[in-house]
C-alpha cells in the first residue's frame, strides 16, 4: 500500500523497499532515509539498491499484466512513495517503416515532450516524500521543463537557472508551470554555479543530473520497457543520444536488475552513445581509450541536450560501452538535420535533434558494418521536435542559428 509520510513521520516508511544507496566508485552504502546527493567520500554517483532476491518470487514479468501503462508499472523496483505522475513512460516502441529490425522508442510522447519526464517524476516523487519544499536545477534544455511540471504537480517550488539564450519553448513552459526562472548572462556552467552558490541560503535541494540518485531510477524504466515491449528479449543494439548519459546508465542498471529477477538472461545489447561532433567528449575519450572524458572546449551544436562538455558520470558511460561491446561516435549537425527531416517524412515522427542523432548514428553504423541488416536495434528518439521549431526553421533557411556555447561540468539537464 502506497502512502505519504505524515509530517514528522520517519522517512523509513517511504523507502522501505530500498535496501541502501551504493556508491559507484567506492561501493560505500548510504541510507535512503534522508535525501542524498553523491558519495561524501569521493563524489561518486549513487545507485539505488533493492533486495531483488526477496522480490523475485512475487515480482514476476507476468505480474505486470494489467498494470498502469506508465513507468510506475515497475513499482517494486521504484521508490515506495506515492508517485507524482503525469503519465510518463510506457512510450511506443515503433517498428521502423524503413529499416526491418529497427525500432524507434518515441520518448517525445512523454509529458513535457521528452524523456526527462521520467527522471523528474521519480526525483520529485522522492522530494515530496522527503518533505522537501524547494528544488533547484541548472538547465538549458528539457530537464527544466520537466522539473517545472512535476514540481507544479507536487506543489513544490522549482528554481531553474537557464542561459539567457535558452530555446524559447523551454523557458516559456517553465514559466507557465509557475517555476522561478532566472536567465543567466553566461553558459550552463555559470547556471550551475549560481545554483551551488545560492542553494544553502535559499534552502534549495539541488536536483542536478546524477547528483540526485532517483533521476536514474526514473530513466532506468526505459530499459525495462525495451525488454517488455520486445517480449522479454533485449535487442542487439541500443542507440542513445548521450549528453550526461543518464538514460544509458539507467538502462544498463535495469538490465542487471532484470537478470537478477530472472526476467532476462546474461545477454546485453551493444550500447551505443551518439554525440554531436560539436560536443563529443565521450566519443573522443572512447577513441583515445580513456576511462574518463576531458572537458570539451567551445561546445556548439543544435542538439541542445547533447551540449555537455563534461558528463559527471563519464566513467560509468565509458565502462558500459566497453562491457557491452558498444561504441561511441559523433555525427554532425548537418547529419542530424538530415536525419530529422528524413524521419519526419518516412516514419511520421517529428524528432528532437538529439533523437534524430540516433538515426544518423544508425546510418553510419550500418555503413561501417558495425550493425547488420538482421540486427535488432532500438533507436531512442529522446524528445519532440515541437520544442525546437526555431532551430528547425533556422536550419531550413540556411546558415545555422547562432551557436550557443556552454562550459562547466554540468550539462543542460
Provide the binding-site residues for ligand PLP, judged by CB under 6 A. Answer: 114, 116, 141-143, 209, 241-247, 305, 352, 354, 382-383, 412-413
In angstroms, give the least distance from the CB of 124 to ligand PLP. Answer: 17
Position with the least CB separation from ligand PLP: 305
Tell me the closest approach of the beta carbon of residue 373 to ligand PLP, in angstroms. 27
| Residue 244 binding: pick among Zn ion, ligand PLP, none (C-beta 5-8 Å cut-off by kind) | ligand PLP
Contact partner at residue 39 from Zn ion, ligand PLP, none, CB < 5 to 8 Å by partner kind: Zn ion
CB of 352 to ligand PLP, least distance (A): 4
Single out the residue of 327, 363, 362, 356 nearest to residue 341, CA to CA.
356
> Grid coordinates in use for 159?
528554481
Helix (H) and strand (E) counts in the chain: 12, 13
Nearer to ligand PLP, 220 or 413 (CB): 413
Which residues, including other chains, have CB under 8 Å from residue 99's CB and lie 6 or more apart?
362, 373
Answer for which of 16, 26, 297, 346 binds Zn ion (CB under 5 A) is: 26
Q: Which is nearer to ligand PLP, 221 or 242 (CB)?
A: 242
Q: Among residue numbers 31 through 50, which ones bind Zn ion (CB under 5 A)?
A: 39, 41-42, 44
C-beta separation of 162 from 171 below 8 A: yes
Contacted entry of Zn ion, ligand PLP, none for residue 145, CB cut-off 5 to 8 Å set by kind = none
Nearest approach, Cβ of residue 401 and ligand PLP (Å): 17
Choice between 115 and 370, CB closer to ligand PLP: 115
Cell numbers of 118, please?
Answer: 521520467
Decide the pairing of beta strands 18-23 and 46-50. Answer: antiparallel
From the list Zn ion, ligand PLP, none, which binds 41 (C-beta under 5 to 8 Å, kind-based)?
Answer: Zn ion
Dihedrals phi, psi of 22, to nearest 5 degrees:
-120, 130
Tell me the three cell numbers of residue 209. Answer: 543530473
Question: How far is Cα 42 from Cα 333, in angstroms, rounded to an integer?
Answer: 36
Please, which residues have CB within 8 angstroms of residue 256's CB and are 6 or more apart in sequence?
A: none
CA–CA gap between residue 394 and residue 388 (Å, rounded): 10
Q: Which partner from the list ligand PLP, Zn ion, none does 44 bind, CB cut-off 5 to 8 Å by kind?
A: Zn ion
Which residue blocks in 46-98 are alpha helix, DSSP H?
52-55
Dist CA 123 CA 119 (whole Å): 6
Q: What is the nearest approach in angstroms of ligand PLP to the Cβ of residue 219?
A: 6
Q: Per-residue string for binding with Zn ion, 265-294, x by CB under 5 A?
A: ------------------------------
HSE-up (13 A, CA, CB side) for residue 197: 7
What are 154's three cell numbers? Answer: 507536487
23: contact with Zn ion by CB under 5 A: yes
**CB nearer Zn ion, residue 104 or residue 216:** 216
Sign for the CA dihedral angle at 21, 27, 29, 30 comes to negative
Q: Which option in Zn ion, ligand PLP, none does residue 384 bind, with CB closer than 5 to 8 A by kind?
A: none
Question: Residue 203 CB, nearest distance to ligand PLP (Å)?
Answer: 26
Q: Which of ligand PLP, Zn ion, none does residue 5 bind (CB under 5 to 8 Å by kind)?
A: none
Query: Toward ligand PLP, which CB reaches closer, 125 or 382?
Result: 382
The string of DSSP letters for 173-209 reads: HHHHTT-EEEEESS-HHHHHHHHHHHHHHHTPEE--T
Which residues contact Zn ion by CB under 5 A? 23, 25-26, 28, 39, 41-42, 44
Amino acid at each position: 500500500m502506497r502512502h505519504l509520510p505524515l509530517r514528522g513521520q520517519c522517512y523509513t516508511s517511504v523507502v522501505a523497499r530500498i535496501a541502501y544507496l551504493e556508491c559507484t566508485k567506492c561501493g560505500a552504502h548510504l541510507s535512503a532515509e534522508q535525501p542524498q546527493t553523491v558519495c561524501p567520500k569521493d563524489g561518486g554517483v549513487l545507485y539505488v539498491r533493492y533486495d531483488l532476491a526477496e522480490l523475485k518470487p512475487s515480482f514476476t514479468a507476468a505480474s505486470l499484466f494489467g498494470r498502469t501503462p506508465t513507468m510506475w508499472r515497475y513499482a517494486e523496483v521504484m521508490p515506495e512513495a506515492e508517485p507524482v505522475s503525469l503519465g510518463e513512460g510506457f512510450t511506443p516502441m515503433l517498428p521502423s517503416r524503413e529499416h526491418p529490425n529497427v525500432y524507434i522508442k518515441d520518448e517525445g510522447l512523454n509529458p513535457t515532450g521528452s524523456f526527462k519526464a521520467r527522471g523528474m517524476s521519480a526525483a520529485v516523487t522522492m522530494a515530496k516524500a522527503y518533505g522537501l519544499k524547494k528544488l533547484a536545477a541548472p538547465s538549458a534544455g528539457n530537464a527544466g521543463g520537466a522539473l517545472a511540471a512535476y514540481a507544479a504537480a507536487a506543489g513544490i517550488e522549482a528554481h531553474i537557472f537557464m542561459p539567457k539564450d535558452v530555446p524559447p519553448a523551454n523557458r516559456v513552459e517553465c514559466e507557465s508551470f509557475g517555476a522561478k526562472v532566472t536567465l543567466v548572462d553566461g553558459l550552463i556552467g555559470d547556471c550551475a554555479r549560481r545554483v551551488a552558490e545560492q542553494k544553502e541560503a535559499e534552502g534549495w535541494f539541488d536536483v542536478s543530473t546524477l547528483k540526485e540518485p532517483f533521476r536514474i531510477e526514473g530513466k532506468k524504466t526505459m530499459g525495462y520497457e525495451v525488454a517488455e515491449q520486445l517480449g522479454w528479449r533485449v535487442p542487439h543494439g541500443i542507440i542513445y543520444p548521450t549528453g550526461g548519459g543518464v538514460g544509458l546508465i539507467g538502462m544498463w542498471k535495469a538490465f542487471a536488475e532484470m537478470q537478477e529477477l530472472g526476467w532476462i538472461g546474461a545477454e546485453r545489447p551493444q550500447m551505443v552513445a551518439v554525440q554531436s561532433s560539436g560536443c563529443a567528449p565521450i566519443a573522443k575519450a572512447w577513441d583515445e581509450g580513456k576511462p574518463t572524458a576531458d572537458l570539451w572546449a567551445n561546445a556548439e551544436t543544435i542538439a541542445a541536450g547533447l551540449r555537455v562538455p563534461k558528463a559527471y558520470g563519464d566513467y560509468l558511460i565509458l565502462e558500459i560501452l566497453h562491457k557491452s561491446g558498444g561504441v561511441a561516435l559523433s555525427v554532425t549537425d548537418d547529419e542530424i538535420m538530415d536525419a530529422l527531416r528524413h524521419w519526419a517524412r518516412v516514419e511520421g515522427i517529428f524528432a528532437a535533434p538529439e533523437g534524430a542523432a540516433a538515426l544518423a548514428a544508425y546510418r553510419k553504423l550500418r555503413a561501417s558494418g558495425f550493425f547488420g541488416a538482421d540486427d535488432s536495434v532500438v533507436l531512442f528518439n529522446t524528445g519532440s521536435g515541437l520544442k525546437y521549431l526555431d532551430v528547425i526553421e533556422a536550419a531550413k533557411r540556411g546558415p545555422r542559428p547562432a551557436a550557443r556555447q556552454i562550459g562547466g561540468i554540468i550539462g543542460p539537464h
